[in-house]
Amino acid sequence: MTDRTEKVIIVEGLTDKKQVKKVIAEEAEIICTNGTLGVEKFDELLDNHDLDNRDVYILVDEDSPGIKLRNQLSRELPHARHIYVSSEYREVATTPENILATELVGKRIAVNPIFLI
């Protein structure tokens, strides 16, 4: 794992991942959980991505499943930083790029400046 980036952004689904990839301007690994995680799946995620030793960001939807996942990840990864989308948009995938970019910049994640207008 010598080629890995230090930053990991955990999202729920593929559309969330695409939205984040569109906005960020630095190398970061974006991991899709595809919903809540069982113990075995979480342990696999933890080991495969060395989450205990990396800068982890949690960016999930502001709906019931997203909040449940955020709570689960918070317990398992207490060092993780949280990025929130407005409940007005509810989902990462439907959050306008400029709003998402502002939230990411607030956590010191580089974004494409065209989204900060």
Element spanning 82, H or E: strand 81-83
Domain locations in the chain as residue ranges: 7-108
- Among residues 18, 29, 30, 11, which one has the least CA distance to residue 73? 11
**pLDDT at residue 103 tops 80:** yes
The mean per-residue pLDDT over the stretch 53-78 comes to: 94
Task: Determine the CATH number of domain 7-108.
Answer: 3.40.1360.10
The mean per-residue pLDDT over the stretch 43-55 comes to: 92
The burial class, CB within 10 Å (0-12 / 13-18 / 19+), for 109 is buried
CA angle in degrees (0–180, nearest 5) for 107-87-79: 35
> Would you place residue 20 in the very low, low, confident or very high pLDDT band (cuts 50, 70, 90)?
very high
Q: Which residue has the higher pLDDT, 68 or 37?
A: 68
Give pTM, 2 decimals: 0.92
